[in-house]
């Protein structure tokens, strides 16, 4: 963290606060801290729900246990005060509200267990920290996180871009009301095992404009070409200006408008169909990304999204 600060950057940390592997020190030293099964032993999560990715089985810290609360508060206070971290991406939060087990406080609900644990995390992280909830139960997280992932993980192919766009559009009203909305990372180029077409990336970028909320770069910045750098800067400028989410005409999510804080307007158009579609747009419109004029009738390719701005 010191080296990151010295480079003029702010460190951030990915943490899954509620889960532990069987070989972990916390599990070995404190098996009594974990949610129990009917046999009185720590409950492997796969017995009642998804078992987790990598290094399974997962066991779940019991948020109703006072010693667990003290542990979570202590860990996050150490990370904040000794490591200098104030941005925490909290993952696998759902498991803090796991069902099918027995809590230390037998009268507590799974939501109460989660909220008690998260309250300890928030106390430890301290004033001015930013907690991003991922894989988190949405309503039980109210007041306990500052940002919220509202969609599946992004992958660089058209079907996933469209899936997470629809998920983000349905929840975009939460942005700025409940928390900062996280539509997951901006993806601008292929990976060796993930490839998308040009129209897929256009759809993805337009969806990020329409979603509002946070902008998180998902590519190595030094690998971006000039055009991709320009696209990322455009998104960052919208985020800095606190541009709201698009207001769509209807639940087809085909046509939405973003009213900018400076009084301008963006028009976000999406073609969810498998065939191209001609659309009519107001005169004087410019392509948002390169500011080229467009005609009053444009052809949207299958799976394409575009963003237009007005002079």
Rounded CA-CA distance 98/95 in Å is 5
Residue 10 tokens, joined: 């702010």
Q: Which CATH architecture has domain 187-311?
A: Sandwich (2.60)
Partners of 277 in the beta sheet? 300
What per-residue confidence (pLDDT) applies to 311?
Answer: 65
311, with CB counted inside 10 A (0-12, 13-18, 19+), is exposed
Rounded CA-CA distance 303/55 in Å is 37
241, with CB counted inside 10 A (0-12, 13-18, 19+), is exposed
Secondary structure of residue 306 in the 3-state scheme: strand
Q: What is the DSSP string of 215-282?
A: --B-S-GGG--HHHHHHHHHHHHHHHTTPPPPEESSTT--EEEEE-TTS-EEEEEE--SSS-EEEE--
Rounded CA-CA distance 138/150 in Å is 8
What per-residue confidence (pLDDT) applies to 99?
Answer: 96
Secondary structure of residue 106 in the 3-state scheme: coil
Q: Among 3.40.50.720, 3.20.20.70, 3.40.30.10, 3.40.605.10, what is the CATH number of 2-149?
A: 3.20.20.70
Question: Does the model's pTM come out above 0.75?
Answer: yes
Query: Could you state, in chain order, the average pLDDT of each consecutive group of 10 residues for the chain (311 residues)?
Result: 87 96 96 97 95 87 98 98 96 96 98 98 97 96 97 96 97 95 96 95 98 94 96 96 95 96 92 94 92 91 95 65
Q: To 10 degrees, the CA torsion angle through 96, 101, 104, 110? A: 50
Q: Do β-strands 87-90 and 59-60 pair in parallel, antiparallel, or remain unpaired?
A: unpaired
For the chain, what is the largest distance between any 2 Cα atoms, rounded to a whole number of angstroms? 70
Of 124, 119, 120, 141, nearest to 132 (Cα)?
141
Rounded CA-CA distance 245/257 in Å is 8
Q: Which residues contact 293 (CB under 8 A, 6 or more apart)?
A: 284, 285, 286, 287
What per-residue confidence (pLDDT) applies to 18?
Answer: 98
What are the residue ranges of CATH 2.60.40.1180 in the chain?
Answer: 187-311
């Amino acid at each position: 963290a010191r080296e990151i600060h010295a480079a003029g950057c702010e460190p951030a940390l990915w943490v899954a606060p509620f889960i532990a592997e069987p070989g972990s020190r916390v599990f070995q030293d404190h098996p009594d801290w974990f949610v129990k099964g009917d046999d009185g032993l720590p409950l492997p999560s796969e017995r009642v729900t998804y078992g987790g990715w990598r290094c399974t089985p997962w066991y779940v810290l019991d948020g109703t246990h006072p010693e667990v609360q003290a542990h979570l508060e202590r860990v996050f206070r150490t990370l904040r005060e000794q490591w200098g971290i104030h941005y925490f991406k909290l993952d696998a939060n759902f498991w803090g509200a796991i069902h099918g087990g027995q809590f230390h406080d037998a009268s507590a609900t799974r939501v109460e267990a989660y909220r008690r644990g998260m309250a300890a995390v928030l106390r430890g992280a301290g004033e001015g920290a930013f907690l991003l909830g991922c894989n988190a139960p949405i309503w039980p997280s109210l007041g306990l996180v500052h940002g919220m992932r509202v969609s599946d993980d992004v992958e660089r192919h058209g079907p996933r871009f469209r899936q997470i766009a629809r998920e983000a559009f349905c929840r975009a009203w939460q942005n700025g009301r409940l928390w900062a909305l996280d539509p997951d990372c901006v993806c601008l180029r292929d990976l060796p095992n993930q490839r998308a077409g040009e129209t897929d990336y256009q759809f993805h970028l337009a969806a990020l404009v329409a979603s509002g909320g946070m902008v998180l770069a998902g590519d190595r910045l030094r690998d971006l070409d000039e055009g991709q750098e320009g696209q990322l800067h455009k998104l960052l400028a919208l985020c800095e200006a606190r541009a709201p989410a698009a207001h769509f005409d209807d639940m087809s999510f085909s046509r939405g408008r973003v009213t900018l804080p400076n009084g301008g307007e963006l028009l976000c158009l999406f073609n969810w169909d498998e065939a191209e579609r001609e659309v009519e747009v107001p005169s004087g419109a410019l392509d948002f990304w390169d500011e080229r004029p467009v005609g009053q009738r444009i052809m949207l390719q299958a799976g394409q999204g575009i963003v237009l701005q007005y002079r």
